[in-house]
Amino acid sequence: MSTSGTHRRWRWVGVVGLVLAVVLSGCGRKHDRDSDSGLNIDAGPNIDVGPDIDLGPDIDLGPDIDLGPDINVGPDEEAGSPSPVHVPEPTTSAFDTTEEAFRSVEVGSCLPVYMTGYGNEWSHSEPPAPVSCGSSYGGLFQVTHVGNSSGECGTGPGHTWWSYSGASGETTICLERVWVPRYCALAESDGNGGISSLGTSTAVDCDADSVPQPYDTVLVVSAVYAAPANASTDHCVQSEYDANPYWSLLVNEDSTLVCFTTPG
The DSSP secondary structure of 61-109, one letter per residue, reads --SPP---SPP---TT--TTPPPPPP-PPPP-PPP-HHHHHHHTPPTT-
Question: Mean pLDDT throughout 250-255?
Answer: 94
Residues 193 and 238 in one domain: yes
Examine residue 48 and state whether it is found in any structural domain, yes or no: no
Same domain, 190 and 159: no
Single out the residue in 177, 193, 217 at which a domain terminates. 177
Dist. CA 162–CA 94, nearest whole Å: 23
Cα(123)–Cα(141) distance, rounded to whole angstroms?
A: 12
Give the pLDDT of residue 94.
74
- Does position 76 have pLDDT exceeding 80, yes or no? no
Number of domains making up the chain: 2
> How many whole angstroms separate alpha carbon 175 and alpha carbon 109?
10
The answer to whether residues 207 and 246 belong to one domain is yes
What is the domain range of residue 235?
Answer: 184-261
In whole angstroms, give the CA distance from residue 41 to residue 80. Answer: 58
Find the mean pLDDT for residues 118-129: 96
Same-domain pairing of 172 and 132: yes
* Residue 255 maps to a domain: yes
223 Cβ contact list (under 8 Å, min separation 6)? 181, 236, 258, 259
Residues 113 and 134 in one domain: yes
Whether residue 100 has pLDDT greater than 90: yes
CA 189 remoteness from chain centre: 53
Say whether pLDDT at 95 is over 60: yes
Could you tell me if residue 198 is inside a domain? yes
Bigger pLDDT: 153 or 57? 153
Q: Which of 177, 209, 230 is the last residue of a domain?
A: 177
The residue among 200, 204, 107 whose CA lies nearest residue 156 is 200
Strand partners, 115: 122, 202
Task: Examine residue 130 and say whether the peptide bond preceding it is cis (omega within 30 degrees of 0).
Answer: no
Q: Which of 37-46, 75-84, 102-111 has the highest mean pLDDT?
A: 102-111
pLDDT of 105 > 90? The answer is yes
In a domain, 77, yes or no: no
Contact 134, 224 (CB under 8 A): no
Inform me whether the pLDDT recorded for 218 exceeds 50: yes
Tell me the pLDDT tens digit for each residue of 178-209. 999 999 999 999 999 999 999 999 999 999 99
φ and ψ of 75, to 5 deg:
-70, -25
Among the three residues 177, 194, 217, which one is the final residue of a domain in this structure? 177
Both 119 and 158 in one domain: the answer is yes
